[in-house]
Amino acid sequence: MKKEEFGKYVRKIMKEDFQLDFNEFFRDVPEKDVYMLYELFMLREELEANTVPKWMFNSLLEAIPFLLFIVGVEKQIVECNSKTFERFGYKRKDLVGLPFEKLLLEKQWNRLEGAGDRKLLLGFKTQKQEIVLGQTSAHYFPSPEGHPREMLIIAKEVSGPQVSALKKLTDAEFEVLKLLMEGMEDKEIAEALKSSPRTVQTHLESIRKKLNARNSKQLIAIAYKAGLGD
């Protein structure tokens, strides 16, 4: 089977078996890595049924070259790979069981949960409070109908001049910028954040300085170029 045919086949069975469409998220990813994700879904289902050993699942988890989280029904971190532990500066015992939202910049869980298979640029925080920006996608593991489902969250860390500039923003500034990109005026942003228009204007002035933008229009253009509007 040719590489192109193999890629189409993997994506087809992922969509048919698990209702997953990774075409956007994985369009620049080697097919072998896409296939490992498919195998991970298969093994997770078998692991729950106790038909495969845990080491087999863990070996595959370690082979996946992305930041990766398995998040439980209570939104706590159930498992990660070593790449994720190392990047975020946690030991396994400290990260597993932690509420996933603690790793996100403010108010981003709802965006992620409602994104489906669409990728988002999300901001994460390491243990040392360094901001990590990643193109992120969330997918539910299969489960019996009506049962709560675990979520697989995958992030590809992004870098570049615009991304480095975004990392300078505080949590509050990041949220103001996202609302500005949604077309909100200062007063609407203030109402959404339960803040004052004056505070919002202060945040916007700070964001413009950090991103070297003359006005809101240029600010939005810079943010889109960095991938924040995906």
User: Is the pLDDT higher at 196 or at 15?
Assistant: 196
- Dump pLDDT digits (tens) for 112-141: 766 555 667 778 889 998 888 887 878 787
CATH class of the region 166-225: mainly alpha
Mean pLDDT of the chain: 78
At the top level of CATH, the class of 3-158 is alpha beta
Tens of pLDDT along 74-114? 899 999 999 999 999 999 889 999 999 999 876 677 767 66
What does the pLDDT read at residue 84? 94
**pTM of the prediction?**
0.66
Sheet holding 131-140, edge to edge: 77-80, 67-71, 151-157, 131-140, 120-125
Q: Where are the domains of the chain?
A: 3-158, 166-225
What backbone phi and psi angles, to 5 degrees, belong to 127? -60, -30
Q: Examine the pLDDT at 197 and tell me if it is beyond 60.
A: yes
H, E, C per residue of the chain: CCHHHHHHHHHHHHHHHHCCCCCCCCCCCCHHHHHHHHHHHHHHHHHHCCCCCHHHHHHHHHHCCCEEEEECCCCEEEEECHHHHHHHCCCHHHHCCCEHHHHECCCCHHHHHCCCCCCEEEEEECCCCCEEEEEEEEEECCCCCCCCCCEEEEEEECCCHHHHHHCCCCHHHHHHHHHHHCCCCHHHHHHHCCCCHHHHHHHHHHHHHHHCCCCHHHHHHHHHHCCCCC
Task: Give the tens place of pLDDT for each residue, 17-47.
Answer: 544 555 455 555 566 666 677 677 777 777 8
Q: How many CB atoms lie within 10 A of CB 16?
A: 9
Look up residue 15 and give its two tokens.
């969509």
- Mean of pLDDT values over 200-220: 90
Look at residue 203 and tell me whether its pLDDT is greater than 90: yes
Q: Is the pLDDT of residue 198 over 80?
A: yes
The residue ranking higher by pLDDT, 32 or 2, is 32
Share of the chain above pLDDT 90, in %: 21
pLDDT at 4 over 90: no
